[in-house]
Chain A
Amino acid sequence: DTGVSQDPRHKITKRGQNVTFRCDPISEHNRLYWYRQTLGQGPEFLTYFQNEAQLEKSRLLSDRFSAERPKGSFSTLEIQRTEQGDSAMYLCASSSLDRGETQYFGPGTRLLVL
């Protein structure tokens, strides 16, 4: 499978714990995006990278959230001191400057904060 992959697919945690999600984009896609989707809503933009540089962050991304893409390949999204309101599906997408910038989504990580 050469599509976008995410790990884990599901995460249950207790309030106050830290969690980290991983995204592996399509090979050679230089742009990587994180979105959050809650039930009955469309995905909401969180942040995006071009290669290893984080170029934009949404106001939704509080200081408890941090994302990295250290080598311009995979990315991690960490949430510190989780809150019940963080429960959502976290989607990753990737795109290529050379291929029309279509964003291809991964299967998502579903987070439940108890």
Chain B
Amino acid sequence: DAGVIQSPRHEVTEMGQEVTLRCKPISGHNSLFWYRQTMMRGLELLIYFNNNVPIDDSGMPEDRFSAKMPNASFSTLKIQPSEPRDSAVYFCASSFRQGLAYTFGSGTRLTVV
């Protein structure tokens, strides 16, 4: 298996622009997680899905953030409009089901200028 695939690896955008991050989980994994990593706050869970259904989005910082999982093999995290404080590394992870081992993607390093 190719593992969890995220794109793009790096994204530089101007403040106010829309940003879309993409994730392809491991085939057969039923749980998908979006995390954000910053120096100040470490790794924070933003939202997770079980069987394509959003279960807990309490970590999503503001209404500017939204996430979708239209099918079992694809998820997006969208920021609109983006702000400099959104600069971080965004990780996607998947697991066979919640409560089991997680596999992380390589992350997307987002810089908003």
Do the two shown chains form a genuine complex with each other?
no
